Chains A and B, each alone.
Chain A
Amino acid sequence: MSGITIRAYVVGFGDCVLLSLPDGAATRHVLVDFGRAPNDAESLQRFPAIARDIEQVCHGHLDLVIATHEHLDHIEGFYRERAIFDRMRVDQVWLGLPSHPDYYANYPKAQLKKRLHDSVRAFSQSVHQRGLVLHPGFRSLLENNLSNKDRMNYLRTLGKKPVVYLARGSKGIAATRWSKKISIHVLAPEEDTSVYYASGRARARLRALAAAEGIALPDDEGQSWTFADVPRAKPNDHRGFSRSDFERLRRAIREDGVAAARLIDRAENNTSLCLIFEVAGKRLMLAGDAELESWAHIQRHCTQHLKPVDFLKVSHHGSHNGTPPELLDTLLPVRRAARASVLVSTKRNVYGTQNPVPDEALLNNLRRRCHQLKTTDGVTGNCVTLTL
């Protein structure tokens, strides 16, 4: 085999990409993610056939499994189809460094996210106990973030060799020379993912949410935005505004738990492994669900790798916040359109029509920059195939 074959499985709103890469006389099979969004029940029916197809294509042997991050729409399939994966030979599993069991002990600044995660879990349980109605999209978002423990534990036992946990600049990991003919560069996540929340707004939001959830805050530099020294109003101190008026106002402005859940969802996306494969003279970029905060760090720290690519798996299912438009001139310059292929693994209307995914403006921009833009949306078969 001399060419590269990329199979994007039709998992609905999720990712499942099988790379078949030439490595001298051999072919290496790398499976990047396998999952779908919890509210995309219909796509689940395809999973057994997809797992069997993967097994068949790689003859029961996966050289590498990569789970870019811990969301169900990237990992659900491994666990659900474990009967098939158990009988396959998986050499190794790569996960992002934040999935390391000791991660939060080693990176205390990132603990705030973990604690928020725990508070969202408590919120979810309380909603369940009280029988409150969740919007379907939000219920899916909660499940996507909270129901991953068993899935991650399964992935940690899947490979023959110990799991490798990766971040940009991680030492002691030979990720850059995975095999003699294949290099893989890790562009993200950062080791300490708290850096994604260092900007004024993100930091303020994170700290305010933590304060609202009663989470003790680690010392930090600069403005805390928690107004700790400002006296709070007494519960019955309502001048010109009754208690019930206030409760109505509060409910109209704030939904308990929702802001924290959305924040940890974004935070988890930003722990995505963003990888560049260099193989057979081609450059393939797979960015997981990296959002703009992660891209900002990639642009700052990985300039040597930000060159035109021959294949791009568009981040975050083609959403508006998964790809910085200004980066496309670097990765997919229009003059190289004849040599570039793009994949968008997505399904329309799973998360409602607000901020539609995929973003139409982004798709139009991408179409100008490649000779083939393939999407799994609306495809009736098991997968779409690209050859480079």
Chain B
Amino acid sequence: MAKQLKDVKVRGRFLPKDPLVARRDGLWAVDCKLKAGGVDSGPTGPRAVVVDYNADLDVRFAPVRLQKNLEFEGLARLSGEKLLNDVRFHQVNVWTIVERTLAMIEDESVLARTIPWASQLGRLILIPHAGYMDNAFYSRDTGALHFFYFEGHDGRPVYTCLHHDIVAHELGHAVLDGLKPYYNEVCSAQTAGFHEYFGDALAMMASLNTREVALQALRNSKSKLAPKNIVSAIASEFGAAIRGMEEEDYLRGAWNNRTMSDLAGTYEEHDWSEVLTGIYYDLLEYLHPKIRRDLEKAHVGAMSAGQSRYYSVRALYRAASMTAAVMFRALDYCPPADLRYDEYARALLKADATAYPIDAMGIRAKLRTIFKDRKIKVPEEDAKRSVQIQLELRGVDVQVIASTHADAYRFLDARRALFCIPYDANFQVINVYRTNKVSKDGYRPPREHIIEFLWEEDVLLEGKRFRGLSGSSMPLYCGGTLVFDTNGNFLHEVAVPATDQRRKELKNYIAYLVREGQLGVLDGVRGIGAPRGSESRIHATIEGGRVRLRRNAAMRHRCAHGDL
């Protein structure tokens, strides 16, 4: 019964937070309408499909049926605990969260383009009952989000597919892997931290797009966001379950004050992620009262408590959408590999300046203050270099050079010196695309043409600290991103060259992973029962004296002591 009509709307249903918050705060499932051509039972949508395969049991649960009235079978009559325990709702919940979150980030005010999946598959696979484990993860190999279940501290089952933040977070990994596949490579703790931040930020964005959540977030305060609230406490039930305490109801907190200085010598990626998650929340906290004041100023006459509350919720809604737009649009201005936080900060400021030449909301000024507080030193823009690149662009048709990978290659190859690409580097253009962004108020920033290129250099690992990897070499990813507008104007450049500093940092990072036992060296021998490195966070294979490191998707969220 596939519906091909463009304007078909299906009734999705999802839990805005998780079962713990539902039971505690009465935040039960809400309905939403999804514009989804090609929707079918499963649920199946144009971008995601539920395949309810349980590997422990080796069975596939029956897919939920889409009825003629475009509602999913059996859900209308269910509510409360019955709904939470219904496998069909689990399927619909995870699919609804993924489809609506994707729609938000692909929106023309944010990334303004279709997200590609790194698996090269058309639909992202969603597995809501993958097996018994206190875990959930995204895997590029399967092209799927795997959600597990386990027994909570109170004996109740915990289904991770019912956790909005977890679903959105894992979707974040899939989205970022599609946009920036090399951020999944082992480069630095900051890049790994960025992956985690992106997931948490996506969870906050999606969460605040629900009226019920916005109301709840402001429940205990008249007009201001409390530091710890339903949105900033990420993954409530899951956090409580793995800590065994209901009062410890968060996995990570966005209200932190972590700075770069606090993390000197630390390599734990979840710790690193908190700096950026904190920045995201700082900006949200800044924008909310500002927008609320603007709304209240426009109000005529005496304002009742209800009206004040209404403006506060509306302001939070708007602040959330602006924060997401600012924080995610910058991705297009980031390098293709080894992203460091100072470059992300520069990208944030530049992308925002491109979209909004006048900083009417004071966002860039605020961001600069936040970066300073968080001890992120933003690199200065090099005006001379901008002029130099602009001069090189004379007579070049940007529409042509940014139309195919081969055209972009020819353009870059002819200008290796300008873009710091060594002559002997066999570089590749990994991405060429353009955006078509629109601000919420209808303003159209310049269309951007973006070229990303990359090459690898060898770093030799020598010494006892690398144990079994000593004597082999591993890749240092180098490259850059160029952003132009349609008129051929140069907008932004970010380069990741091979420097001694980067080589040293990569070696220190690898030595840390070895020291902490996070690397599992696989023998490369195939056959049934071949080790899959299930207990190490990173798999290493050595072939021809070169080490290839791959993140173990299942262990991404597991710390050295086994927690998530």
A239 interface residue per 8 A CB criterion: yes
Residue of chain B at shortest CB distance from A250 = B53
Q: How far is the CA of A360 from the CA of B468 in the complex (A)?
A: 12
Residue of chain B at shortest CB distance from A351 = B531
Q: How far is the CA of A294 from the CA of B129 in the complex (A)?
A: 29
A373 interface residue per 8 A CB criterion: no
Decide: A354 near B520, CB < 8 A? Known: A200-B150, A246-B53: yes
B555 interface residue per 8 A CB criterion: no
B123: min CB distance to chain A, Å: 6
Residue contact B531 to A241, C-beta cutoff 8 Å: no
Residue contact B531 to A254, C-beta cutoff 8 Å: no
- The 8 A CB mask of A123-147 against B (1 = contact, 0 = none) is 0000100001111111101100000
A227 partner, pick from B54, B150, B526, B533, beta carbons under 8 A: B54
A309: min CB distance to chain B, Å: 26
Q: Using Cβ atoms and an 8 Å threshold, which residues of chain A touch B55?
A: 250, 253-254
- The 8 A CB mask of A219-243 against B (1 = contact, 0 = none) is 0001101110011111001011100
Q: Using Cβ atoms and an 8 Å threshold, which residues of chain B touch A142?
A: 529
Q: How far is the CA of A252 from the CA of B532 in the complex (A)?
A: 11
Q: How far is the CA of A352 from the CA of B534 in the complex (A)?
A: 13
B155 interface residue per 8 A CB criterion: yes
Residue contact B62 to A133, C-beta cutoff 8 Å: no
Residue contact B531 to A354, C-beta cutoff 8 Å: yes
Residue contact A138 to B44, C-beta cutoff 8 Å: no
B16 interface residue per 8 A CB criterion: no
Q: How far is the CA of A225 from the CA of B533 in the complex (A)?
A: 26
A134 partner, pick from B51, B520, B529, beta carbons under 8 A: B529
Decide: A354 near B525, CB < 8 A? Known: A227-B57, A233-B62, A252-B141: no
Residue contact B527 to A233, C-beta cutoff 8 Å: no
B222: min CB distance to chain A, Å: 43
A258 interface residue per 8 A CB criterion: yes
Interface-side segment among A71-79, A101-109, A207-215, A270-278: A207-215
Decide: A353 near B57, CB < 8 A? Known: A137-B531, A138-B529, A240-B40: no
Residue contact B150 to A127, C-beta cutoff 8 Å: no
Residue contact B56 to A237, C-beta cutoff 8 Å: no
- The 8 A CB mask of A246-275 against B (1 = contact, 0 = none) is 100110111111110100000000000000
Residue contact A249 to B142, C-beta cutoff 8 Å: yes
A361 interface residue per 8 A CB criterion: yes
A-B contact count, CB below 8 Å?
Answer: 155
B49 interface residue per 8 A CB criterion: yes
B523 partner, pick from A253, A352, A360, beta carbons under 8 A: A352
Residue contact B62 to A237, C-beta cutoff 8 Å: yes
Residue contact A230 to B87, C-beta cutoff 8 Å: yes
A355 interface residue per 8 A CB criterion: yes
Decide: A223 near B151, CB < 8 A? Known: A204-B132, A240-B44, A352-B523: yes
Residue contact A204 to B150, C-beta cutoff 8 Å: yes
B535 interface residue per 8 A CB criterion: yes
B488 interface residue per 8 A CB criterion: no
Q: Using Cβ atoms and an 8 Å threshold, which residues of chain A touch B40?
A: 239-240
Q: Which of B132, B144, B520, B526 has the most CB of A within 10 A?
A: B132
Residue of chain A at shortest CB distance from B42 = A239
Residue contact B60 to A246, C-beta cutoff 8 Å: yes
Q: Using Cβ atoms and an 8 Å threshold, which residues of chain A touch B62?
A: 230-234, 237
Q: How far is the CA of A205 from the CA of B131 in the complex (A)?
A: 9
Q: Using Cβ atoms and an 8 Å threshold, which residues of chain A touch B526?
A: 133, 135
Q: How far is the CA of A254 from the CA of B532 in the complex (A)?
A: 11
A87 interface residue per 8 A CB criterion: no
A201 interface residue per 8 A CB criterion: yes
Q: How far is the CA of A250 from the CA of B130 in the complex (A)?
A: 11
Residue of chain A at shortest CB distance from B516 = A361
B362 interface residue per 8 A CB criterion: no
Q: Using Cβ atoms and an 8 Å threshold, which residues of chain A touch B151?
A: 200-201, 204, 222-223
B5 interface residue per 8 A CB criterion: no
Q: How far is the CA of A255 from the CA of B59 in the complex (A)?
A: 13
B441 interface residue per 8 A CB criterion: no
B157 interface residue per 8 A CB criterion: yes
Residue contact B528 to A205, C-beta cutoff 8 Å: no
B529 partner, pick from A141, A201, A233, beta carbons under 8 A: A141
Q: Using Cβ atoms and an 8 Å threshold, which residues of chain B touch A200?
A: 132, 150-151
Residue contact B132 to A241, C-beta cutoff 8 Å: no
Q: How far is the CA of A250 from the CA of B131 in the complex (A)?
A: 13
Q: How far is the CA of A357 from the CA of B141 in the complex (A)?
A: 28
Q: How far is the CA of A100 from the CA of B144 in the complex (A)?
A: 46
Decide: A227 near B129, CB < 8 A? Known: A258-B528, A355-B520: yes
Q: How far is the CA of A234 from the CA of B52 in the complex (A)?
A: 12
Q: Which of A222, A255, A353, A361 has the most CB of B within 10 A?
A: A353
B514: min CB distance to chain A, Å: 10
Q: Using Cβ atoms and an 8 Å threshold, which residues of chain B touch A239?
A: 40-42, 44, 49, 63
Residue contact A132 to B53, C-beta cutoff 8 Å: no
Q: Using Cβ atoms and an 8 Å threshold, which residues of chain B touch A252?
A: 141-142
Residue contact B523 to A353, C-beta cutoff 8 Å: yes
A233: min CB distance to chain B, Å: 4
Residue of chain B at shortest CB distance from A259 = B56
Interface residues of A in 36-95 (CB under 8 A from B): none
Q: Using Cβ atoms and an 8 Å threshold, which residues of chain A touch B7?
A: none
Q: How far is the CA of A204 from the CA of B141 in the complex (A)?
A: 26
B527 partner, pick from A135, A222, A253, beta carbons under 8 A: A135
Residue contact A352 to B531, C-beta cutoff 8 Å: yes
- The 8 A CB mask of B490-522 against A (1 = contact, 0 = none) is 000000000000000000000000000100111
Residue contact A249 to B53, C-beta cutoff 8 Å: yes
B133 interface residue per 8 A CB criterion: yes
Residue of chain A at shortest CB distance from B143 = A249
Q: Using Cβ atoms and an 8 Å threshold, which residues of chain A touch B150?
A: 200-201, 204
B226: min CB distance to chain A, Å: 34
B61 interface residue per 8 A CB criterion: yes
A348: min CB distance to chain B, Å: 11
Residue contact B125 to A135, C-beta cutoff 8 Å: no
Residue contact B51 to A353, C-beta cutoff 8 Å: no
Residue contact A257 to B123, C-beta cutoff 8 Å: no
B536 interface residue per 8 A CB criterion: yes
Q: Using Cβ atoms and an 8 Å threshold, which residues of chain B touch A226?
A: 57
B58 interface residue per 8 A CB criterion: yes
B264 interface residue per 8 A CB criterion: no
Given A135-B526, A211-B57, A355-B536, 10 new contacts (CB under 8 A): A136-B527, A200-B151, A222-B151, A232-B59, A232-B61, A240-B42, A241-B125, A253-B53, A255-B528, A258-B528
Q: Which residues of B contact A (CB under 8 A)?
A: 40-42, 44-45, 49, 51-63, 87, 123, 125, 129-134, 141-142, 144, 146, 149-151, 155, 157, 467-468, 517, 520-523, 525-531, 533, 535-536
Query: Could you show 19 A-B contacts with beta carbons less than 8 Å apart?
Result: A127-B528, A134-B528, A135-B527, A136-B525, A137-B531, A201-B150, A204-B150, A209-B56, A222-B155, A223-B155, A227-B57, A230-B87, A239-B49, A240-B45, A246-B51, A254-B58, A259-B56, A352-B525, A354-B523
